[in-house]
Structures are given as structure tokens and as C-alpha cells.
């Protein structure tokens, strides 16, 4: 692996940088590269942080092949520049050495519900502008999926502790173990002086398979398992049902914790899997077995019963999957982990907020919910997506929220 300096020196600093054009937050990659090569690492870190407060996280877990790295011109004929390695170094250095400036408070109170990537981004941006921010979080710490989903071998928790420390030093008031929508409803916040509420409660509720056997004692949902893997006794053979990154994270965590034999089974082929290629590759290296074209139809005490699925190419080139009930087989399993997607929790049905058919917050392009003063962003709006997309939309929502706050402050 070349040093990050060698990597930065390979960058062509394109006038029309395709890497930056394909970054959801339009990171000014040529400028950061130039500052880094001039030795101005603090300034480079500041440029990154002010554009994307979570750059220390996204540099580690973004799907780079879809964004910056995947569009580097050098990648057309050879090795693309891995900007994220430089970004990770600069962002971490910036957080570690960050001095909090004196912030002029404006006396305007804002409530943030949910301390995941969207909530952290909004809080950091508001705090720097002098707002009084109170963050309500159902869990006992900040991070959302970054802390209670993505395994520590992919994302170090000390980054989240640094973010918490920075926000507290900027004046954040944090209410852990407090679920909005139970004792405190959104509408209870305004009488206490909050001028706006930002909802970023994510999609933490797992989707069900809807099969017989799903409530048995050896069956678990991946997002529940990933929250605290040590709480689970899984046995020596574990079957994970699903084809996305969550399935892969669960499988790789099981391998590390329980030293079990892990099988991922799903109804599609390898080429159709939604998980990132490099994650699939790592799971294979670590010994995860894949059973493709298997549709789970029932969960038994010691196996997942499946039927074979046929992949059929339609005349128009599209693909469909058909179950073939003449081929039934069992994948042995002492435990089963279900990872077929997530949706929003049911606790936010208040304040007259309009929801979509999927139960997501129905907002306009600026994150306005239709209930005055209530804004939303992140997975609760988009459905399960990525951290960088949550950051990008939160930034957009902030601009409209500030317009609203400036207006209501005058009234």
C-alpha cells in the first residue's frame, strides 16, 4: 500500500474533477489535495469538516467505488487515486486537534430527535452557528447505526466518542435513553421554548420474512443482533437470510464472535446482491458460505427450509426470479439471522406528521414535514440509504430551517 503522500501526488487535480462531481456532498477534492501536499493539514481538515462534519466517518465507510474513487480518471486505465485514505487521515487529525472557538449564542432553542449521522450533522452545524441544541436519543449514546449497527472492525467507536466530546464542548445538551413519541411527544417540545424540531430517527425496525417459525427462540433480526452481539448464543451453524450489507455485517460479526460456520442464503444470484463487492469478498475470505437462488419458505428448529429460485431473463433484458417448488432443500442452522431490510419505528405518529405508505416522513425537497417547525432528514425520510446521503440532505434541510428560525425569531 503506497503512503498517503504518494497517493496524493498521483492526483492529477483535474479542472473538472469527476471525483468531486460524484461526491454527494461535493467535497472539493483538488483543493484538499493541494493543501495536503503544501503541508497545510489543519486547513485541509477544516475544509473537509466545514463541508461534511462527518468526513472522519464517511472517509472510512462510504461506498467509495460508487462515489469519488469510482470516478477518478486514473481508474479508466489503471489504479484510481484513493482519496478517502487521505481524507481519513486529515479528518481524524482535525478532530483530534480541534479547538472549539468561542461561540456567540443566539438564544434560539432547537430539539434534535435521534443521534445518528443526520442528527449529529444537524447538531454540529447548529451548535457552530450559536443555537441551543438539545438532542433526544432512544439509546444510551450517540451514533445511531454507526454505534449500534456497523461492526467495530469496520468503524472504530473512538471516532464517535470524539464527536460526542466536541458537541458537548460546543454546548450540546444530551438526553440519552429518551424516546420521543412515548412520554415526550413532538408537540410537547414547542411549549418548552423549542422553536424547531429536527427528526432523524432512522429506520431501526427490521422487516419480517412473514414465515412460519420466525418467532422461534433461535431466530433473530440482524439489526437487533448487531446492537449487542455478545447478548446472543448462536450455536455452531448460523444461517443469515439476506443479500445486502447488513447481512454481510451480521455474518462477519458472527464469524468473529462465535467462530461458527456461517451461511448467507438469498433468492438472487451473486451478481444481483445489493451488498458492496469488497464486503462480499471479505466475507468470502473470512469463510462465509453463500447459497444463492434459495428462497426461504419456513424456519425449522434446526434449519431453514428453502426452495430453488430460477433467474429468468425477460425479452426486454430485465430479469425476474421464479420459485421452483419441485426443488426443496434445507440449510442447516442452530440459529437464523434475518437481514432483509429495515423500516421506521411506529413511535413517531404524532404532531399530525404526514407519513408515506412505507411509514417514512413525507417531506418536501427541503425536509419540511407540513407541520410548522418540524423538519426531518436521514433514513426516516429516504428509507435505508447511506451516511453520506444523510449528511447531504441534512445540510440542505438546515438552510430552510434557518430561514424558518430567522422568521419565527422576529415574530
Ligand X SMILES: Cc1cc2nc3c(=O)[nH]c(=O)nc-3n(C[C@H](O)[C@H](O)[C@H](O)COP(=O)(O)OP(=O)(O)OC[C@H]3O[C@@H](n4cnc5c(N)ncnc54)[C@H](O)[C@@H]3O)c2cc1C
Residues that bind ligand X (CB under 6 A): 61-62, 113-119, 136-139, 144-145, 149-150, 179-181, 200-202, 204, 223, 226, 245-246, 249, 345, 347-348, 378-380, 384-388, 390
Q: Which residue lies nearer to ligand X by CB, 30 or 202?
A: 202
- One-character DSSP codes across 225-283: HHH-GGG----SEEEEE-SSHHHHHHHHHHHHHH--EEEEE-SS-GGG--S-HHHHHHH
- Cα–Cα distance, 299 to 209 (Å, whole number): 10
Pick between residue 113 and residue 280 the one whose CB is nearest to ligand X: 113
Q: How far is CA 263 from CA 241, 322, 333, in A?
A: 8, 22, 9
Instruction: For the CB of residue 79, give the shortest distance to ligand X in the complex, in Å.
Output: 22
Which H or E element spans position 327?
strand 319-332
Q: CB of 289: closest distance to ligand X in angstroms? A: 20
CB of 63 to ligand X, least distance (A): 6
Do 51 and 27 meet the contact criterion of CB atoms below 8 Å apart? yes
How far is residue 396's CA from residue 383's CA, in Å, rounded to a whole number? 17
Task: Report residue 324 CA to chain centroid gap.
Answer: 35
Question: Among residues 8 and 118, whose Cβ is nearest to ligand X?
Answer: 118
Question: What is the C-alpha to C-alpha distance for residues 267 and 270, in angstroms, rounded to an integer?
Answer: 10
Q: Please, which residue, 235 or 383, has the CB nearer to ligand X? A: 383
Shortest Å, Cβ 165 to ligand X = 18
User: 91 or 245, CB closer to ligand X?
Assistant: 245
Nearer to ligand X (CB atom), residue 87 or residue 307: 87
The answer to whether 266 and 289 are in contact (CB under 8 A) is no
Distance CA 59, CA 91 (A): 8
Which residue's CB is nearer to ligand X, number 239 or number 339? Answer: 339
CB of residue 178 to ligand X, shortest distance in Å: 6
DSSP string for 103-151: ------EEEEE--SHHHHHHHHHHHHTT-EEEEE-SSSSS-THHHHTS-
Residue with cell 438472487: 268
Bridge partners (DSSP) listed for residue 294 = 308
Give yes or no for a contact between 200 and 113, defined as CB atoms under 8 angstroms apart.
yes
CB of 318 to ligand X, least distance (A): 27
**Residue placing its CB nearer to ligand X in the complex, 117 or 213:** 117
| Least distance to ligand X, CB of residue 378, Å | 2
CB of 47 to ligand X, least distance (A): 21
Amino acid at each position: 500500500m503506497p503512503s498517503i503522500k504518494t497517493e496524493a501526488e498521483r492526483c492529477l487535480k483535474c479542472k473538472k474533477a469527476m471525483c468531486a462531481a460524484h461526491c454527494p456532498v461535493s467535497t472539493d477534492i483538488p483543493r484538499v489535495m493541494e493543501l495536503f501536499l503544501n503541508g497545510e493539514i489543519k486547513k485541509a481538515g477544516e475544509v473537509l469538516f466545514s463541508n461534511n462534519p462527518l468526513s472522519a466517518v464517511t472517509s472510512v465507510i462510504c461506498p467509495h467505488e460508487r462515489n469519488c474513487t469510482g470516478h477518478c480518471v486514473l481508474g479508466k486505465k489503471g489504479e484510481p487515486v484513493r482519496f478517502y485514505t487521505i481524507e481519513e487521515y486529515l479528518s481524524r487529525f482535525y478532530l483530534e486537534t480541534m479547538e472549539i472557538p468561542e461561540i456567540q449564542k443566539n438564544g434560539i432553542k432547537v430539539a434534535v430527535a435521534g443521534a445518528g449521522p443526520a442528527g449529529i450533522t444537524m447538531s454540529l452545524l447548529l451548535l457552530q452557528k450559536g443555537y441551543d441544541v438539545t438532542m433526544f436519543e432512544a439509546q444510551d449514546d450517540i451514533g445511531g447505526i454507526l454505534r449500534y449497527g456497523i461492526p467495530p472492525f469496520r468503524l472504530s467507536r473512538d471516532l464517535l466518542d470524539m464527536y460526542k466530546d466536541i458537541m458537548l464542548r460546543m454546548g450540546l445538551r444530551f438526553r440519552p435513553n429518551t424516546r420521543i413519541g412515548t412520554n415526550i411527544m413532538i408537540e410537547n417540545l414547542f411549549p418548552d421554548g423549542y422553536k424547531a424540531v429536527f427528526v432523524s430517527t432512522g429506520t431501526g425496525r427490521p422487516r419480517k420474512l412473514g414465515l412460519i417459525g420466525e418467532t422461534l427462540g433461535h431466530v433473530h433480526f440482524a439489526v437487533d443482533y448487531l446492537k449487542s452481539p455478545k447478548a446472543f448464543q448462536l450455536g455452531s451453524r448460523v444461517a443469515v437470510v439476506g443479500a445486502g450489507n447488513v447481512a454481510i455485517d451480521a455474518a462477519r460479526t458472527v464469524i468473529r464472535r462465535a467462530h461458527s460456520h456461517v451461511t448467507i442464503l438469498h433468492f438472487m444470484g451473486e451478481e444481483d446482491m445489493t451488498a458492496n463487492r469488497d464486503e462480499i469478498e471479505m466475507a468470502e475470505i473470512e469463510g462465509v458460505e453463500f447459497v444463492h437462488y434459495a428462497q426461504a419458505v419456513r424456519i425449522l428448529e434446526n434449519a431453514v427450509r428453502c426452495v430453488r429460485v430460477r433467474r429468468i431473463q425477460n425479452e426486454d433484458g430485465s430479469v425476474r426470479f421464479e420459485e421452483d417448488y419441485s426443488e426443496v432443500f434445507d440449510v442447516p442452522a442452530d440459529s437464523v439471522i434475518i437481514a432483509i431490510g429495515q423500516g421506521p419505528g411506529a413511535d413517531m405518529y404524532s404532531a399530525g406528521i404526514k407519513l408515506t405508505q412505507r411509514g417514512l416522513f413525507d417531506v418536501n425537497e427541503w425536509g419540511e414535514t407540513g407541520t410548522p417547525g418540524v423538519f426531518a432528514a436521514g433514513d426516516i425520510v429516504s428509507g435505508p440509504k447511506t451516511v453520506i446521503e444523510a449528511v447531504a440532505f441534512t445540510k440542505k434541510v438546515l438552510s430552510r430551517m434557518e430561514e424558518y428560525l430567522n422568521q419565527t425569531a422576529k415574530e
